[in-house]
Amino acid sequence: MRKHTFVILAYHESDDLEECIKAVLKQSVKSNVLIATSTPNDYIMDLASQYSLGVMVNKEESNKGSDYNFAIKTMDSELITIAHQDDLYDRNYTKEILKKYRNNKDATIIFTNNYEIDGDKKILKSKCLMRKKWFLFPLKYRFFQNKKYFKLRSLRKEKFICTSSITFVKKNIKEDLFPTNLVINNDWQGLIDLAKEKTRFVFLDKKLVGYRLHKKKFDMEKYQEDEDILKKMYPSWYFNKFVKRKISKI
C-alpha cells in the first residue's frame, strides 16, 4: 500500500488545473499523484498525458460528495489528500503531513492552515483567516482533538476547515463519508457527521495550502443548504435570532 497519494479532482476545463498539478508534483517529499474526474474531456486527458498522470473516471452522476467518496474508496493508499484543481500546495505540505502522522496514527484527518489567493495575490493575513485560526486553535492539542465539542466548534458557524488541506487516514474513516444528496455543502456536512463520531481531528498550524478565492454571488441553492445544516447545529430560537440573518454572508 502506498503511504500518501494526491488525488486531484478535475472538472471541465479549469485554467488553474495545470498550476495545481505542478504544485503537487514539486513536493519536497514525493507522493503518488493522479487525477479523478466525473467530467472527462480532452483538456483533462491532455494535461494528464503531458505530466504522465493516471486518470480515474467516476462514472456515477457528477456530484461533489460522489467524487470525494470515489477518490477515497478507489485509492489503495494509507493517506489520501483530495486536491481541488483551483488550489495550491506548499512544496513541504507532504513532508509536514507525514511528520505529523508519525505520532498520530490514530488520527482520522490531519489538516493544515491555509492562506488565500486572490488573482495573483497571496493573502497571508485577513479577518477571515484570523477568525478561522481562532476556531481551529484547540485542535492543535491532543487533549481536544477527540472532543466532539471542539471538532464541531471548527464547523459550527461555517466550514473553517479547508477541505483541500485535509489528508484522510483511510483506515480510520468509513466508506461513503460524504453525502450525495447535496449539491454544494457535501464536504461540510460530511465533516460534521465525522466530527460526531469517535474520531480525532489533528490541526497542523502551518499555512501550507493556498485557497483560491472566487467572486461570490448569492446562490439560493447554497443559501438553502447552509440554512439546513446550521438549523441542526443550534436551538431554533438561537438560529432564528442570531444565525439566519448571517447565512447569506457565508
Higher pLDDT, 179 or 230: 179
pLDDT at residue 2, as a whole number: 83
Does residue 130 share a domain with residue 55? yes
Host domain of residue 8? 2-214
Burial of 28 from C-beta contacts in 10 A (0-12 / 13-18 / 19+): exposed
DSSP string, 221-235: HHHHHHHHHHHHHS-
**Residue 247 clears pLDDT 60, i.e. is over it:** no
Does residue 221 share a domain with residue 208? no
Q: Apex CA 27: angle with CA 201 and CA 24, to 5°?
A: 80
Q: Apex CA 55: angle with CA 49 and CA 57, to 5°?
A: 140
Higher pLDDT, 5 or 184: 5
Alpha carbon 194 to its chain centroid, in Å, reads: 13
**Residue 227 clears pLDDT 90, i.e. is over it:** no
Tell me the helices (H) and strands (E) count for the chain, helix number first. 10, 9
- CATH number of the domain to which 206 belongs: 3.90.550.10
228-246 average pLDDT score: 76
Does residue 134 share a domain with residue 61? yes
Contacts of 219 (CB under 8 A, 6+ apart): 184
Confidence of residue 237 (pLDDT cuts 50, 70, 90): confident
String of b and e for 213-229 (b: at least 16 CB within 10 Å)? eeeeeeeeebeebbeeb
pTM: 0.92
- Contact (Cβ atoms closer than 8 angstroms) between residue 138 and residue 191: no
Does residue 185 share a domain with residue 118? yes
Does residue 246 share a domain with residue 131? no
Higher pLDDT, 225 or 102: 102
Q: Of 158, 190, 159, whose CA–CA distance to 174 is shortest?
A: 190
pLDDT at residue 241, as a whole number: 72
Kindly report, residue by residue over 126-184, the tens digit of the pLDDT: 998 999 999 999 999 999 999 999 999 999 888 999 999 999 999 999 889 999 998 88
Does residue 99 share a domain with residue 177? yes
Does residue 78 share a domain with residue 131? yes
Does residue 87 share a domain with residue 144? yes
What CA–CA distances, in Å, run from 67 to 119, 143, 176, 246? Answer: 26, 33, 10, 29
Does residue 159 share a domain with residue 43? yes
33-46 average pLDDT score: 96
Counting every residue, how long is the chain? 250
Contacts of 49 (CB under 8 A, 6+ apart): none
- Contact (Cβ atoms closer than 8 angstroms) between residue 233 and residue 156: yes
Kindly report, residue by residue over 49-98, the tens digit of the pLDDT: 999 999 999 988 778 899 999 999 999 999 999 999 999 999 999 999 99
Kindly report, residue by residue over 17-28, the tens digit of the pLDDT: 999 999 999 999
Does residue 201 share a domain with residue 236? no
Separation CA 145–CA 138 (nearest Å): 7
pLDDT at residue 158, as a whole number: 83
**164 φ, ψ (degrees, to nearest 5):** -65, -20
Work out how many domains the chain is built from and give that number: 2
The rounded mean pLDDT for the chain is: 91
**Helix runs in the chain, H state only:** 17-25, 42-50, 64-74, 93-102, 127-136, 142-145, 148-153, 186-195, 220-233, 236-238
Report helix, strand or coil for 210.
Answer: strand
Does residue 161 share a domain with residue 235? no
Does residue 209 share a domain with residue 144? yes
